[in-house]
Amino acid sequence: MAEPETQAPAPAPWPVFDLNQAVLGFADEVAREPGGAHIRRCYACGACSARCPVADHLAGFDPRRLIRLILLGQRDPVLQSPLPWRCSTCYTCQETCPQGVGFTEVLFAVKNIAARAGFFPPALGLQPDILRAHGRLLEITDFENKNRADLGLPAITERPAHYQAMLARFSLKTGEEA
């Protein structure tokens, strides 16, 4: 006797959106960002969502739906959502899209807008502190240098001064030089 097939649980539904609260220029805002130019090409065929490896494992992650929400002017729900930050940037959606929307690039545009508006994962806000302290996002310890020596590679010394100078000139809030 064959065992019954099991199905993955249905994704959590998105809340119902009030289109009277739509920000009509949101799609234009995304289109003006680098990477967002082709957002309006999407005709919701679903090829991106069908091939997305993240959508297979993360309930609620649906590239087609994110694009639709952008086009419907749902600025705050999109920018405040953790979903754009969960994209693996594998580019499978871009290889699949018959319209050349460039969903991964659109998400870079959305994340740039979100970050300027103050919506980003907490760990992202820690990166400047790590760069200031170590000059790189990963601290190099004796453990890493011992492994490098075992492989015949030279030790790495941290030189954070360059990054400290760069971060002093750069404003994280605006993305422009101070």
Ramachandran area for residue 59 (φ above 0: left; ψ -120 to 50: alpha; else beta): beta
- Tell me which residue of 151, 55, 159 sits closest to 103, measured CA to CA: 55
Task: Quickly list DSSP for 50-62.
Answer: HH-HHHHHSTT--
| Helices vs. strands in the chain: H and E counts, helices first | 10, 0
pLDDT(126) > 90: no
**In angstroms, rounded to a whole number, what is the distance separating the alpha carbons of residues 134 and 157?**
9
112 and 142 assigned to the same domain = no
66 and 84 assigned to the same domain = yes
Domain that holds residue 161: 122-169
74 in a structural domain: yes
Q: Give the pTM.
A: 0.69
61 and 134 assigned to the same domain = no
38 and 109 assigned to the same domain = yes
pLDDT(10) > 60: no
Which CATH number do you get for residue 112? 1.10.1060.10
3 in a structural domain: no
Q: Collect all residues with Cβ–Cβ distance below 8 Å to 122 and sequence separation of at least 6.
A: none
pLDDT digits (tens, 9 = 90+) for 97-123: 999 999 999 999 999 999 999 888 888
